[in-house]
């Protein structure tokens, strides 16, 4: 390739380009069940404004690239979580927000109805610990996911 | 009129405007609701069973996660019930701190509910404005105990730590900043023509139905019943403050939002009075043992949470762990009126009704 290129042309492969584009325009399916859902709302609201990272909330899994599981998942909810995940189109990513979604959190012991971690049901890409995590921690989790998307799964 | 085949539709459990994980099974005739049946239990975390294997102090963090928009009030209800059971006295300063944090949390909870009810009707601006003010309160709580949402601040016989330096000044600053904002919200949402049309005369709850279904809080007061435990059975130091109980007229969704707005005004009044008259002294009763063993017996105590009458029933067998804890959650009773008020309305009105009842599934499913 000895052709001289003008400065406004960049050569790249198609796949990294798509991944780069996706990482800056993640359509999020906010699935908040409990307390962590409140912090997820706070992240989307006035002060923290998650939309500046290109994360746009969509109410249906069929339009989403990312599912954020925020809150406790119970045995009654588990089949529905799986079904919602399966409705998403690939490439799809999952963020588990809060201790309950990671391991059952405070409801891990002496309980009969709580699923001990959403990764028992679906594959999780990024875990954000905390009970509930601070909005800054949630934003950091989203940035980690962007990095992961850029690198490829 | 054309008669169409009736259709069953599931609203939820994953739905952006059910405020959590509510599922409503709706029978539809066209767009009209024939029957609506709420299905709960998607967040059943067996709080009551877990408490039986925890000590009395270890239960406090679990009460945080019951009604998470107003954790302080849940802490207060549980702590006061145990104090009543064990006969613990609370220093005067601690009582004042408790009232201040409970009222601040009531404002935070009502802001969330008010903003979300606007968002359900399509008004996104009011939601962002309400959250801006809510962040101010959350900052105050962070100053107080380091947590943004689940505070774990109250202890038996007081609070875990004294007010930090500058808290009183900052809270006063908040009150002055917040008072004009309430009028702004009234103009933004309640006097908004679109919202009035959507919420007025929708989901009308009659006074006698509200009483027989056990509704409480803003839902009951919107029907015109002047019932507030802060006035009717004054707990803590509420009888020392001067405040009004706002009531509505029709019991529709607009009235419920209006009552919440007025309650925010009254809460600011209470906080201002409490900040002026807060006494010095101890913030925690130092006589309370680390491992509390209340005498054998049972006790019920209820207080006014932002959602209504929140009660705890505790049975003690004399050991360090409670034998049984039962929580009476206001949102559960409030939610049970959905099958009563929704038939005949449009499906879009159901969303407004759910928003106006302000359910919180942490305490409904427990």
Domains in chain B: boundaries: 7-364
The pLDDT assigned to B176 comes to 92
Taking a contact as any Cβ pair under 8 Å apart, which residues of chain A between 60 and 79 contact chain B?
71-72, 74, 76-77
Distances (CA, A) of A119 to A65, A95, A138, B260: 18, 10, 18, 40
What per-residue confidence (pLDDT) applies to A127? 92
pLDDT tens for each residue of A22-50: 888 889 888 888 888 888 888 888 888 88
Residues recorded for chain B: 366
> Which stretches of B98-225 are assigned E, i.e. beta strand?
154-155, 158-159
Upstream peptide bond of A91 is cis (omega within 30 degrees of 0): yes
Q: Do A113 and B44 touch (CB under 8 A)?
A: yes
Give yes or no for A87 touching B (CB within 8 A): no
CA B121 to chain centre: 21
Question: Does pLDDT of B313 surpass 90?
Answer: yes
Mean pLDDT of B20-45: 88
How far is the alpha carbon of A135 from chain B, nearest alpha carbon, in Å? 10
Find the mean pLDDT for residues B259-269. 91
Do B223 and B216 meet the contact criterion of CB atoms below 8 Å apart? Answer: no
> How much of chain B exceeds pLDDT 70, in percent?
99
Say how far apart CA B243 and CA B233 lie, in whole Å.
14
A46 touches chain B (CB under 8 A): yes
Instruction: Confirm or reject contact between A41 and chain B (CB < 8 A).
Output: yes
* Residue A106 in tokens: 């405070």
Neighboring chain A residues of B41 at a CB cutoff of 8 Å: 74, 76
Backbone angles phi, psi at B9, to 5 degrees: -135, 135
Averaged pLDDT score across all residues of chain A: 87
CB of A141 within 8 Å of any CB in chain B?
no
Q: Which of B84, B144, B82, B137 is nearest to B108 (CA)?
A: B137
Which whole-number Å values give the CA distances from B184 to B171, B230, B267, B356, in the listed order? 20, 27, 17, 20
> Do the Cβ atoms of B144 and B153 come closer than 8 Å?
yes
Summarised one tens digit per residue, pLDDT across range A121-150 is 999 999 999 888 999 999 999 999 999 988
- Chain A nearest CA to B310, separation (Å): 19
Subunit contact B150:A45, Cβ cutoff 8 A: no
Residue B187 DSSP code:
I
Positive/negative CA dihedral, A43, A49, A50, A51: positive
Q: Confidence class of residue B1 from pLDDT cuts 50, 70 and 90?
A: low
CA nearest to A49 within chain B:
B128
pLDDT tens track for B130-146? 888 899 999 999 988 88
This complex has an ipTM of 0.86
Q: Which of A31, A40, A41 to mutate: most B Cβ within 10 Å?
A: A41
Which positions in chain B touch A59 (Cβ < 8 Å)? Answer: 15-16
Q: Indicate the residue of A42, A106, A135 with minimum beta-carbon distance to B61.
A: A106
Q: Does A148 touch chain B (CB under 8 A)?
A: no
Comparing C-alpha atoms, which of B222, B209, B225, B218 is closest to residue B336?
Answer: B209
Partner-chain contact B53 A110, CB within 8 Å: yes
The answer to whether B46 contacts A112, with C-beta atoms less than 8 Å apart, is yes
**How many beta-carbon contacts under 8 Å exist across A and B?**
94
CB contact under 8 A, B150 and A77: no
Pair A128, A138: CB distance under 8 Å: yes
Average pLDDT of chain B is: 88
pLDDT of residue A1: 58
Classify domain B7-364 by CATH architecture: Orthogonal Bundle (1.10)
- Could you give the angle at which helices B167-185 and B124-145 cross, rounded to 10 degrees? 170
Please list, in sequence order, all residues whose beta carbon lies within 8 angstroms of the beta carbon of residue A138, skipping any fewer than 6 positions away: A39, A40, A43, A50, A97, A128
Residue A58 has pLDDT above 70, yes or no: yes
Helix and strand counts by DSSP (H, E) for chain A: 5, 5
Percentage of chain A beyond pLDDT 90 is: 16
Up-side HSE of residue B114: CA atoms within 13 Å toward CB? 33
Q: What gap in Å lies between CA A32 and CA A40, rounded to an integer?
A: 7
């Amino acid at each position: 390739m000895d052709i001289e290129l003008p400065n406004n042309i960049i050569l790249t492969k198609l796949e990294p380009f798509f991944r780069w584009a996706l990482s800056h325009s993640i359509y999020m399916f906010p699935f908040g069940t409990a307390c962590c859902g409140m912090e997820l709302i706070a992240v989307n609201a006035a002060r923290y404004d998650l939309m500046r990272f290109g994360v746009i909330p969509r109410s249906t899994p069929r339009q989403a690239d990312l599912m954020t599981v925020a809150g406790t998942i119970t045995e009654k909810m588990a089949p529905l979580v799986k079904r919602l995940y399966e409705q998403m189109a690939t490439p799809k990513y999952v963020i588990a927000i809060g201790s309950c979604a990671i391991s059952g959190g405070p409801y891990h012991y002496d309980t009969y109805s709580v699923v001990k971690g959403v990764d028992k049901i679906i594959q999780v890409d990024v875990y954000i610990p905390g009970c509930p995590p601070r909005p800054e921690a949630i934003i950091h989790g989203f940035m980690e996911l962007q990095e992961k998307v850029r690198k490829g799964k | 009129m054309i008669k169409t085949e009736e259709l069953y539709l599931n609203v939820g459990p994953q739905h952006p405007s059910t405020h959590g994980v509510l599922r409503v099974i709706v029978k539809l005739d066209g767009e009209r609701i024939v029957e609506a049946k709420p299905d709960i239990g998607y967040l059943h975390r067996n709080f009551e069973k877990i408490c039986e294997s925890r000590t009395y102090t270890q239960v406090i963090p679990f009460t945080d996660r019951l009604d998470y928009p107003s954790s302080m009030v849940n802490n207060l209800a549980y702590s006061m019930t145990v104090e009543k059971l064990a006969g613990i006295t609370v220093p005067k300063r601690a009582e004042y701190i408790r009232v201040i944090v409970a009222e601040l949390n009531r404002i935070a909870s009502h802001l969330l509910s008010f903003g979300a009810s606007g968002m359900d009707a399509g008004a996104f601006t009011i939601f962002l404005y309400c959250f801006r003010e809510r962040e101010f309160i959350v900052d105050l709580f962070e100053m107080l105990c380091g947590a943004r949402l689940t505070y774990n601040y109250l202890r038996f016989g007081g609070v875990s730590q004294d007010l930090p330096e500058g808290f009183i000044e900052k809270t006063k600053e908040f009150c002055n900043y917040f008072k004009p904002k309430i009028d702004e919200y009234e103009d933004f949402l309640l006097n908004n023509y679109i919202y009035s049309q959507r919420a007025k005369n929708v989901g009308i709850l009659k006074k006698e139905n509200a009483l027989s279904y056990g509704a409480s809080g803003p839902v009951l007061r919107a029907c015109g019943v002047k019932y507030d435990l802060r006035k009717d059975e004054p707990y803590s130091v509420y009888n020392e403050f001067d405040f009004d109980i706002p009531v509505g007229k029709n019991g529709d969704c607009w009235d419920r939002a209006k009552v919440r707005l007025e309650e925010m005004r009254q809460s600011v009044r209470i906080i201002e009075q409490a900040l002026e008259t807060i006494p010095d002294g101890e913030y925690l009763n130092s006589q309370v043992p680390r491992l509390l063993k209340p005498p054998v017996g049972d006790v019920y105590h209820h207080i006014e949470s932002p959602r209504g009458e929140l009660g705890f029933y505790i049975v003690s067998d004399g050991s360090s762990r409670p034998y049984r804890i039962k929580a009476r959650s206001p949102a559960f009773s409030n939610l049970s009126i959905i099958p009563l008020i929704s038939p005949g309305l449009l499906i879009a009105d159901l969303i407004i009704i759910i928003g106006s009842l302000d359910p919180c599934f942490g305490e409904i499913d427990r």
